[in-house]
Amino acid sequence: YEGLRLESTFDYRSQAMLYIGSDLPDPRTAEFQGAALAEIAALVEHAGGRALVLTTSHKMVDLAVRQLAHGPFRVLAQGDLPRTALLNEFSSNETSVLVATMGYWEGIDIPGPSLSLVVIDKIPFPRPDDPLTQARRDRVEATGGSAFNAVDLPRAAMLLAQGSGRLIRNEVDRGVVAILDNRLTAKRYGIRLIRSLPPMQRTSDRERAIRFLQSL
């Protein structure tokens, strides 16, 4: 993936905050799922709904919907309605929550107060069983290159940028992008992914992120 970053008219540093769940368990461990679901519920509560939860699996969509069903906000899930109808319903209900997976990481434009929080559960690395991605990996490795650096990381960076880009859609939007994957700060490649995102103010302090949400 190669792209050209153009100057934006948005003031990301004042309009948006990137919260990285550095204190959460590693996403590859059994402890991550429960901790991530609890974090999603807490962030959504402090945001007053108004949230788009983007997951990397259909299983996590189902689990997040179940977790959020106990709260006071209307929870919409990918597949509940046709895409256009679902987005219209989410946009028209300012305290609702939409939970979805990969098909909703791009092509969504919800300006205004209905969307003040985007939560991403994990770095969206390519699926290991995707034949096209595997063919690209094979080509890179055949010439002695690193498939992770040349294929997996650029793809994940592009998807993270697309998912995070759902938040700020005009000059007055404000909110938080929360990425619950601690590898963004725990792994050396994390900074490469962070640099692919809009230049938001950044924190791993959960209370600071909550205060920002509550100020909106």
Quick check: is 5 in a domain?
no
pLDDT at position 129 is: 83
For residue 183 the two structure tokens come to 């590898």
What is the pairing mode between strands 51-54 and 97-100? parallel
Which CATH number fits the domain that encloses residue 49?
3.40.50.300
Quick check: is 1 in a domain?
no
Number of domains present in the structure of the chain: 1
Quick check: is 3 in a domain?
no
Quick check: is 61 in a domain?
yes
Quick check: is 7 in a domain?
no
**Cα atoms in the 13 Å half-sphere on the side-chain side of 142:** 6
Phi, psi dihedrals of residue 103, rounded to the nearest 5°: -65, -10
Q: Which residue has the higher pLDDT, 190 or 70?
A: 190
User: Domain limits at 30?
Assistant: 12-214
Quick check: is 44 in a domain?
yes
Quick one: pLDDT band at residue 3, thresholds 50, 70, 90? very low
Residues 102/104/107/112 CA torsion (nearest 10 deg)? -140
pLDDT at position 81 is: 95
Quick check: is 126 in a domain?
yes
pTM of the model: 0.92
pLDDT digits (tens, 9 = 90+) for 14-43: 999 999 999 999 999 999 999 999 999 999
pLDDT digits (tens, 9 = 90+) for 50-92: 999 999 999 999 999 999 998 999 999 999 999 999 999 999 9
Quick check: is 189 in a domain?
yes
